[in-house]
Structure 1
């Protein structure tokens, strides 16, 4: 049989975003009087909305079929309160029990309209994780059960109105490709197609039957903005009145309020509407929140709550005004069937008071001296500023890698006089001296630094020496004050003056050594997000007679650094054996590159840690599907992989451990191919003269041994920087606290005037601003010192003493 493509009804290419007047419930041409409408799944969700629309059209009788008696009773109350003229009848039954459905239809009589809204869906997980019985259930209920109900209705006599109407409530998932909904989406599409075929066979003219597919979508233009406006306006009113119980009523029962220096000068994530009340009672700095509408991405729009496509929410960006500054944030609204409420709030401080960064119209004049307004040679002014001959820096940044550079740049932009020191001969040497084959494993989008983006022609993955040169150019272009070839000899905290006394030893350009004493308010340790290199103590290390026995930082483990070194050795003709004690989380760089990074920093850090971890668990599942072949090859080669902490993948493992992961750029394939051998799960018991011995009694000969065993906690380096007395007052660095925020790093360390700062490029780019804002707040008297949390001080004031503490609940 030959078929024209226009012969049968087919889905439109785009969804209409405004209602059709012709089928609006109050259209005079639509009269529900005397008609009976049966709705499966009519007690909740779309089915209940359909019931309300028919009731609004004054339909005489609405019959709801669903499984939950509780939901049915709630639906009856809602419908009868809104539409008292409509009779509502309730029947319990599951649509996959055709005998029960036929019994109900016979009792009701032939309905004028049959609406098929009931359906089922499996969990939204990678397809390989969907149990067979759930997959079968989706097809049985969403296709076969629906088909049987349609056939039962067609077999019934014509209703009093002489025409039967069958409406299939389809789903956008039946038209869109949604990874992880492999059973639900295709089953909805299959029945939608079946209805189209039946509609071509059973026509109003020939059979008195109309069959329709209905694709429920929201008005994605006006509604999202309207809903967001109502929520934010109500929130602003509550904040102005200090009605924090009113605020809590706008928040999902288990919603999250994430706050980075906005309501308080601290990092907080509060879970639960009731806890939001207590948080805002103690931290009431936010005064007004304004919806941003300058781009399509920022303005209110419907979309998935996360990258996995579930559940649908309204997302929008905001700006806010607080008593101590201004900032930006992200809101996510969710409708769980009782109306739109706030699922997550994220507010992040951007500016402190009237201190705007010198950009755009605020940029410096250039040739003029800042104070006397006299023209001076730029190089003379830079040399004078960098030497600190007649002044002390307010902040001393120890280390001039990416963390030190970004921290210095942010502090400079806030007017905090800053000196950075580094023991290397040049800025960027920390990259130049790394192993020869190193390229960054994060794509270029991740690795931008503030104020000076890479050129558009920059390679996707940055070579180490190119990044070293860029770091040097960054420091020069932004006029950062940096002393290279300088080491910190000693430091002493003066509690009375809230200042440090720091002894420095600096090698000048002529080779002479200069000793300098400076007195900064703050020391920021930027010597790497880890501490001293971690070299295991193993029996016999002194007896090794091979060519090399060293730590990977000087060039046996299996994280990022280790893999690259193994690959480098192999490519230079060595026979390489990898010793893996536990397991590693592995993903390919391509599976990371495909994750969108639009408005990356606000979007990324705006997700509360608990939800972010859950989302990353699903992302990890998708990455495993993408990387399945290489992962199978690794397992076959004896290399053990894991899915990260609580199956949450690489990113969460990095945030919590700073290790135990690998972004593959080639070494994994070498392992899978057997080019790099693996020894797994055995501790090294002894280093012998010509190799290693293991706990299982085996041994391995080696000419060179490299320990890629990672680094100690940042506190180990702090003992060198500020001594034991100060270090003993600070907590362990990195990892997450009970609210999911970083411990110790980026925030008050536990000792006044001492800060930890480090991490990868995205972490440093985002948190460098917040570090600088905290330091500026203390220096201007806006933020008070305390051992745990900050609280905004009214009206600023003089610099607080060490003993000034504000206790927060």
Structure 2
């Protein structure tokens, strides 16, 4: 063995920044990717230079007389680190060579099977796929990851593929991406028990794993890379083959060659790997210096203890900066995390991997930030894998976290941005003064000049519109403008994105709808929502051939003057069929008895059919029934409960509305000024009952719709069973499903072995009050509003309650941030709902989802950071909603996934409500739940606050599967950012009517006017004639984007 270089004579530096002097790392560059390529210490390179000088002084002497002995010395040095005999270890250039060597020496038949994990490295996968004869089977690692779940699933998978041929299992000691330790020794044991060959890729093991002990683990084949963590030069790996299998290896990838060499003769197996032609073997020879270096700086335990602790601490640091999470909780960190840690990124999971994304990230971090840690996409989420090494410290992790903040990846200078990669994802499109190109030449504008700008724009637009001059209109709007239409010009809910689509839309509809009779409403408001955003909101009226409409535009400054960035057209009234309200109300005196008799007769429908039949008498059904009533459209509501409002009365006793009354008014009758700010559930139930009575709505309670059949003339025959058992048959033109989310059908989680649980399992819809659970241990599954409310109810009754959190949750306290959420439009001093609703809905959802909602959500959550941090401290997982847009997309996507805090959060922080969020539920046990990580949770009662089913279930039940198959998903948005609710279906006369009180108040009028227009045959054509863009489902993002967009 060569003498150590002089460098080793100096005392070693402290780990951290001081240790950088031991490496060649570029000044200012932060290497957090040691797991990919390693880093060569200067003393090891110095030792290699000494060997090089020795070789080059007399190449023949070294190559012919010394080389093999030096290789043997290296094997004898490294074998003890593996717990292996030197005769079982040979050197190879890399893991791919080892995999190919093993696989190519098997005799394969078509009945053989190669099993491999879904995480094998790309080069390994290529080697596997080159084996054409054997079958291939992928073992998908369970997620969330835990050793117990991996071993259980691994055995089942091996058993499922065993047949007449041999089975060869290829798996890692540590997954490359994500960098997670696998229970490889136990997997080897399972292979032995199942009669399966084990081929183990231990690329990250040596220098990273302390107790490898191959003699005891006894895999069939095992290999590791020395340059990653052992500090050798690149190109040095080891293949371990126990004596029993060495005869299998008849050849390496390249046939071996050796010179006659003095000294002992190695086994035929070892000699095959000595030399395969001229190559630089310095990587193998560097082992002696790498091992000497490791001893010099403190040895294996000191190195790995430092790196492991830094990985844990650094991962939490990065996750805290990003407001995301580490892949694995503290509970199972020891078994999953080595010296690499994986942190989730605030990038939406719908952005799929692509070369463009990786190139953007790579170039940004290597060139701009002078650091690197690889990002990857795993199980629907984006992650970064961070390696910890002796030359790193916590500041390196902090710097990475700060540079990973999404705002740095979304600057215009880094375009194309991540959010522009997917056509179904909202673009970043806030019209900031920088994006508009006027940051340095922003025109001065005041309230008075804004009013004149708005009036001038109105004059120009109205002139062009009445002339049907589409080119003229184009000159008044931005290239990337958004035009949202609610039934005014399309008889639908549509959003047109960009000048090209707007042009096509106008060309198709200007002549059909004939915009005319423009009226200036003297509404112009200069607004500065953010320091970098200014616009003038202008509102005016116009008419079409059939309706009176409103128009709202937001004008922004451009180098070419003020132009519209958003345009909103809304059908307000049908010209010839106004609502019977205000001046149009009934004005004839009617005697009490005559009024009573009329109402009784009207509600019976004994001599006529309703035009519309609505299933469900909640807020949605009642709102639509009220609108139709005062458009003189005969309507009947069928409610299965005994009283209107029972759907609220049957909920838990502590229920109280989360939104204040200004947001929750219903059509025509606002809450009285004496009404409490937040409506108790029972009080709301009574209000709905009184509302139906006061507005004289036709309702049959305790009645059930049996079925509904559509005929060739597109009318519907509906059978209704009354409480006395009598079945009435109606022929109607419109059939409306207003039964709420899933018709109240509980959605129960599928958890194995429920039959052995000795306690009680119920859905949250069946929970009423805590008195039934005194003295019991209760687990609430689900962390939405209902889950929190029920857990809070139980905790306040001093009942032992644990919430099980399946996925991250959006939490915000609306009472403390209502001004940020919706206060300007819905408060004690805000405009009437008719105006507020139009102003609110006039912002296209693509703009909200493309930046505005994220900014607003970030401001709300920033104001509650103390609460958010405290929740994270106790293990509660938080997010910012889908795409960081807060509640907006949560409601559109699934109607949940959030909690409006009314006190439960503090109970969680205080420990009155316990949290379980670190592992997936595996199965029921007799007295509780078992989790994938092996942990258990005792319970007497399981309450599933897991929402309702798909409304298409009730459509299928009532109308048949063929009709249900034509219905779009209840939740989800299309490419224009619009939902399926409140819109015509492909099946004429069938409607969904669902939403919160605010949405149903506003959109019930659109649906009612459309139905009235159909009844009066006013609709010439919709735009387009076929159904509008395909409805797609956005997937839930559990990762909160950072605050500034």
1:287 aligns with 2:287: no
Q: Deviations over 1:69-99 (max 9, x none)?
A: xxxxxxxxxxxxxxxxxxxxxxxxxxxxxxx
SS of residue in 2 equivalent to 1:317: strand
1: CA distance, partners of 2:608 / 2:732: 10
Asked if the contact 1:282–1:808 (Cα under 8 Å) also holds between the matched residues in 2, the reply is: no
Q: Which residue of the other structure, out of 752, 756, 777, is the alignment partner of 1:543?
A: 756
State the 1:671 CA deviation.
0.8
Within a 5 Å distance, the mapping from 1:116-135 to structure 2 comes to none
Find 2:546's aligned residue among 310, 314, 324: 324
Output the CA distance in 2 between the equivalents of 1:619 and 1:727: 37
In structure 2, the CA distance between the partners of 1:680 and 1:381, relative to structure 1 (3 Å rule), is same
Cα distance in 1 for residues equivalent to 2:1019 and 2:653 = 45
CA offset digits 1:597-645 (Å, max 9, x no partner): 1443112110011211211101111111111111011101100000111
> Which residue of the partner structure matches residue 707 of structure 1?
944
Give the structure 2 partner of residue 671 of structure 1. Answer: 908
One of 225, 238, 241 as aligned partner of 2:451: 225
CA drift at 1:516: 0.7
Q: Structure 2 matches for 1:18-57, cutoff 5 A?
A: none
2:801 to 554, 570, 576: 576
1:252 aligns with 2:478: yes
Q: Aligned partners of 1:335, 1:420: CA distance in 2, in Å?
A: 50
Which whole-Å CA distance do the structure 2 matches of 1:700 and 1:785 have between them?
A: 60
Whole-Å Cα distance in 2 between the matches of residues 367 and 725 of structure 1?
50
Q: Distance in 1 between matches of 2:932 and 2:601?
A: 61
Radius of gyration: which is bigger?
A: 2
* Partner residue, 1:109: none
Distance, in Å, in 1 between the alignment partners of 2:900 and 2:563 is 38
Q: Summarize deviations over 1:148-207 as a string: whole Å, max 9, x none.
A: xxxxxxxxxxxxxxxxxxxxxxxxxxxxxxxxx9xxxxxxxxxxxxxxxxxxxxxxxxxx
Tell me, in whole angstroms, the C-alpha distance in 2 between the residues paired with 1:326 and 1:645: 36
The yes-or-no answer on 1:778 pairing with 2:1014 is: yes
What's the counterpart of residue 524 of structure 2? Answer: 300
- Residue pair 2:854, 2:885 contacting (<8 A) in 1 also: yes
Could you say what secondary structure the match of 1:329 adopts? strand
Q: Corresponding residue for 2:862?
A: 625
Q: Is the 8 A contact 1:504 1:515 kept in 2?
A: yes
Pairing 1:604-643 to 2, within 5 Å after superposition: 604-613=840-849, 614-643=851-880
**What is the 5 A alignment of 1:99-498?**
217-221=444-448, 223-284=449-510, 285-288=513-516, 290=518, 292-293=520-521, 299-304=523-528, 307-308=529-530, 310-365=532-587, 367-368=589-590, 377-496=594-713, 498=714
Q: Distance in 1 between matches of 2:871 and 2:929?
A: 23
TM-score (ref. length: structure 2): 0.53
Q: Structure 2 CA distance, aligned partners of 1:676 and 1:233? A: 61
**Could you tell me whether the CA contact under 8 Å between 2:741 and 2:948 is conserved in 1?**
no
Report SS of the residue matched to 1:257: strand
Seen in structure 2, the aligned counterparts of structure 1 residues 337 and 594 have a Cα distance that, compared at 3 Å, is same
Residue number in structure 2 paired with 1:661: 898
| Alpha-carbon spacing, 1:316–1:807, altered in 2? closer, same or farther (3 Å) | closer
Consecutive unaligned residues of structure 2, counting only runs of 5 or more, are 1-401, 412-431, 433-441, 768-780, 1031-1045
Q: 1:293 to 1:350 in 2, by over 3 A?
A: closer
Number of residue-to-residue matches in the alignment: 570
1:218 deviates by 2.5
Structure 1 residue 367, shift from structure 2 partner: 3.9
The answer on 1:533 being equivalent to 2:746 is yes
Corresponding residue SS for 1:445: helix
Query: Equivalent residue for 1:694?
Result: 931
Is the contact between residue 425 and residue 485 of structure 1 (CA under 8 Å) also seen in structure 2?
Answer: yes
- Counterparts of 1:656 and 1:289, CA distance in 2: 39
**TM-score normalised to the size of structure 1?**
0.67
Q: 2:645, 2:688 within 8 Å by CA — same for their partners in 1?
A: yes
Q: What CA deviation, in whole Å up to 9, does each residue of 1:297-330 have, x standing for no partner?
A: xx112112xx445411111222221112012232
Which secondary structure does the structure 2 equivalent of 1:705 belong to?
A: strand
Using the TM superposition, give the Cα deviation of residue 752 of structure 1 relative to its aligned residue in structure 2, in angstroms. 1.3
User: For the residues of structure 2 that align with 1:441 and 1:292, how far apart are their CA atoms?
Assistant: 38
Distance in 2 (CA, whole Å) between partners of 1:592 and 1:495 is: 53
- Stretch of structure 1 that moved more, 279-288 or 700-709: 279-288
Aligned position for 1:499: 715
Identify the residue that residue 761 of structure 1 maps to in structure 2. 997
8 A Cα contact 2:741 2:949, kept in partner? no
Take 1:634 and 1:764, find their aligned partners in 2: how far apart are those partners?
Answer: 34
For 1:520, the equivalent position in structure 2 comes to 732
Distance 1:687 1:366, change over 3 A: farther
| 1:582–1:681 CA contact under 8 A, matched in 2 | no
> 2: distance between equivalents of 1:544 and 1:428?
35
Q: Give yes or no for contact 1:248–1:274 (8 Å, CA) kept in 2.
A: no
How far off its partner does 1:387 sit? 0.4
- Structure 1, 751-760 or 318-327: larger mean CA deviation: 318-327
Shift of 1:790: 5.9
Judging changes above 3 Å, is the alpha-carbon distance between structure 1 residues 366 and 539 closer, same or farther for their aligned structure 2 residues? farther
Q: 1:309 to 1:454 in 2, by over 3 A?
A: farther
* 1:730 aligned onto 2:967: yes
CA contact (8 A) 1:249 1:273 kept: no
The secondary structure found in structure 2 opposite 1:594 is helix
Rounded to whole Å, the distance in 1 between the matches of 2:1024 and 2:654 is 44
Residue 672 of structure 2 aligns to a residue in which SS?
coil
SS at match of 2:673: coil
| Closer, same or farther: CA 765–375 of 1 in aligned 2, 3 Å | closer
- 2:764 is matched with which residue: 531, 552, 556? 552
**Structure with a larger share of its residues in helix:** 2
Q: RMSD of the alignment, in Å?
A: 2.6
Where 1:533 maps in the other structure, the secondary structure is coil
Q: Is the 8 A contact 1:778 1:785 kept in 2?
A: no
Secondary structure of the residue that 1:731 maps to in structure 2?
Answer: coil
Query: Could you tell me which of 567, 582, 586 is aligned with 2:792?
Result: 567
Q: 1:592 & 1:782 partners in 2: Cα distance?
A: 45
Q: 1:475 to 1:235 in 2, by over 3 A?
A: same
Task: For residue 966 of structure 2, give the secondary structure of its aligned residue in structure 1.
Answer: coil
